[in-house]
Structure 1
Amino acid sequence: MPRSLDGLVLAPVADQAPGQVGTRTRFTYHEKDGEIWAEYAGGDVARGYLVGTREGDRLDFRYVQLKQDGTTSSGHCASTVVELPDGRVRLEERWEWESQAGGGTSVVEQVGRGVDQVTDSAP
């Protein structure tokens, strides 16, 4: 199994549409016995949470978020955990809103070791 996500901070490598998760959003992951959860905030997101399961390199979770404008939204995401050559973790994600129309793909990567920056490289 790829390494644990517990305690890792990840950030998107690119901005999504306005009002959604973007490069200023930070996710703090937790993992225990096949369960995963995270808190996230930053950019257009005031507060967000995700909760789900992990089997091997696959994550399956639901998310809910409060945006800076006071609106809420929720959805489902399936991710693949990838270990990068430099030892950091990348999540390659396919997501879909459940509270509104739309979906897509995204990539989040572990924030550089102790530095609050992400690479600008695409997958």
Structure 2
Amino acid sequence: MHRSLDGLIFAPVADQAPGQVGTRTRFAYHETDGRIWAEYAGGEVVRGHLVGTREGDRLDFRYVQLRTDGTTAGGHCVSTVVELPDGRLRLAETWEWESAAGSGTSVVEQVTEHAP
């Protein structure tokens, strides 16, 4: 059985390109009955939301965000949940923008601080 993401906070381990999430961004995850959602903010992201599903250790979701420059963007992401040796969780992500060109990979890890 997999560990629930509900109530966990995640942060990127590295900065992405300008206008995207970065190490100052925090994701507050929620999960119930195979459904996931999160709010996120920090760095160049004023407010972001994601919503999707979880099957085992695979997450599949859409995201949308408002940036500090007033622009919006959205896309699709598939993540794999991995348990780290210290018990925290890591999400290995493959994402692509749907509102513009671009795709990539990123890693977010569970942190013990509070969400923004």
The answer to whether the 8 Å contact 1:2/1:83 transfers is no
TM-score scaled by length of structure 1: 0.91
Q: Which residue of 1 aligns with 2:52?
A: 52
Q: Which residue of 2 aligns with 1:119?
A: none
Cα shift at 1:3:
0.4
3-state SS of the aligned residue for 1:52? strand
Cα shift at 1:62:
0.1
TM-score scaled by length of structure 2: 0.96
Runs of 4+ in 1 over 3 A off after TM superposition: 113-116
Change over 3 Å in CA distance of 1:33–1:68 after alignment to 2: same
Change over 3 Å in CA distance of 1:115–1:64 after alignment to 2: closer
Cα shift at 1:47:
0.1
Q: Which residue of 2 aligns with 1:64?
A: 64
For residues 90 and 49 of structure 2, the distance between their equivalents in structure 1, rounded to whole angstroms, comes to 19
**1:63-82 to 2 correspondence within 5 Å?**
63-82=63-82
**1:1-123 to 2 correspondence within 5 Å?**
1-111=1-111, 113-114=112-113
Deviation by residue 1:88-123 (Cα, 9 ceiling, x = unmatched): 000000000000000000000001x3489xxxxxxx
Instruction: Give aligned pairs, total.
Output: 115
For residues 53 and 99 of structure 1, the distance between their equivalents in structure 2, rounded to whole angstroms, comes to 21
Q: Structure 1: which 5+ residue stretches go unaligned?
A: 117-123
Cα shift at 1:78:
0.1
Deviation by residue 1:34-74 (Cα, 9 ceiling, x = unmatched): 00000000000000000000000000000000000100000
For residues 85 and 103 of structure 2, the distance between their equivalents in structure 1, rounded to whole angstroms, comes to 29
For residues 101 and 43 of structure 1, the distance between their equivalents in structure 2, rounded to whole angstroms, comes to 22
3-state SS of the aligned residue for 1:7? coil
The answer to whether the 8 Å contact 2:9/2:113 transfers is no
3-state SS of the aligned residue for 2:74? strand
